[in-house]
Amino acid sequence: MEAILSLGTNLGARLANLTQARAAIGHLPSTHLLASSRVYATEPVTEPGTPPGDTYLNAIIIVATTLDAHDFATRLHAIETHLGRQRTTQRYAPRIIDVDLICFGALTLHTLDLQLPHPRAHQRRFVCEPLAELRPDLILPGQAVPIRTILAGLPATPAATLAAEQWA
């Protein structure tokens, strides 16, 4: 199954955080890295009264895996924890790493612990910009138009600006 993942970080050595997450995901059993976008910088989304924190670095990776969706998602959460992510009740808290499962093939799933495709991916420039770089003609499950068309219709802000062409 082809899985699309969004990686983000705004704490610590941000580029290294992305690189470590990508490597760990690529080492999951029965999982192989197929593609990586360039890295984009984005302003953090915050709740009213919350300090903004540092700029995020975001990227998309695409993997092939024979793991099932729930097992794969559980392993992604374990990688986040291993890399130092601390989960809080604050939705937009700064984080050392965030790994979002954007889609898992054409699977549509809505459970308490997993929603596929990601319910807000098509609204986020930091997802759509790097995804359009890799798969401009991809139509996410539940959407009617390709990602390049979705990207063209998103507001210019918050912007996603190119931060790194390559990452180790």
Q: CB–CB of 72/3 below 8 Å? A: yes
Confidence check: pLDDT of 53 > 80: no
Tell me the residue range of the domain where 157 lies: 2-164
Percentage of the chain surpassing pLDDT 90?
A: 82
- pLDDT tens, position by position, 84-135: 998 777 777 788 999 999 999 999 999 998 999 999 999 999 999 999 999 9
When divided into structural domains, the chain yields a total of 1
pTM for the structure as a whole: 0.94
CB-based contacts of 97, cutoff 8 Å, min separation 6? 7, 8, 9, 17, 18, 20, 21, 79, 80, 83, 84, 85
Q: Which two tokens stand for residue 82?
A: 């291993």
Instruction: Indicate which CATH number applies to the domain containing 156.
Output: 3.30.70.560
